[in-house]
Amino acid sequence: MEKNTDKMLTQVAGKRQYQSLDLKNIVLQHGTLIGFIIVFGLISILSPYFATMSNFISVINQMVILFMMALGASFALIEGGFDLSIGAITGLSAVLACGLQDSGHGLIIALTVPLLIAAVIGLINSMNIVLKKAMQTKT
């Protein structure tokens, strides 16, 4: 077998093929990961607070909110819809929760009322989507 550092041997349907291992293909396939590693490394070197456990836990806590929003949006996308109101409903819920907490209501009320209002708005949006689809299939 020929030893060549510039080529990679792959086997497709029993046939041997050589693929070039050039920098352009590697960057095109893994550019985002390479960029993330470079930025993470630079920020870790420049800031002593970046690569700490407390910062990692803070980032994970913030990602939970985005994960929940993405999970809700994925249901709309799976059904063939597109819901742009997720950000607005999240903002409304946050403002309501802060306002209720600031006005002296308890934590349970400050969390439950915005959650219920967001659920009602989400239900109305989903009913609109379902009704539109039902009307489109009738015609």
Question: Token pair 């700490």 is at which residue?
Answer: 52
pLDDT for 111-128, tens place per residue? 999 999 999 998 898 888
| Tokens at 46, concatenated | 């420049």
Beta partners for residue 16, in sequence order:
11
pLDDT for 34-60, tens place per residue? 999 999 999 999 999 998 999 999 999
Distance CA 112, CA 16 (A): 62
* 28 and 74 inside one domain: no
* 114 and 85 inside one domain: yes
Total-model pTM:
0.56
pLDDT for 72-87, tens place per residue? 788 778 877 777 888 8
Residue 58 domain boundaries: 52-139
Distance CA 81, CA 127 (A): 12
Distance CA 71, CA 76 (A): 9
Mean model confidence pLDDT for the chain: 83
Q: How many domains does the chain have?
A: 2
Q: Are 114 and 82 in contact (CB under 8 A)?
A: no
* 45 and 106 inside one domain: no
* 109 and 73 inside one domain: yes
* 38 and 7 inside one domain: yes
* 76 and 28 inside one domain: no
* 71 and 116 inside one domain: yes
**CA angle at residue 116 from 113 to 117, to 5 degrees?**
85
* 47 and 58 inside one domain: no
* 68 and 129 inside one domain: yes
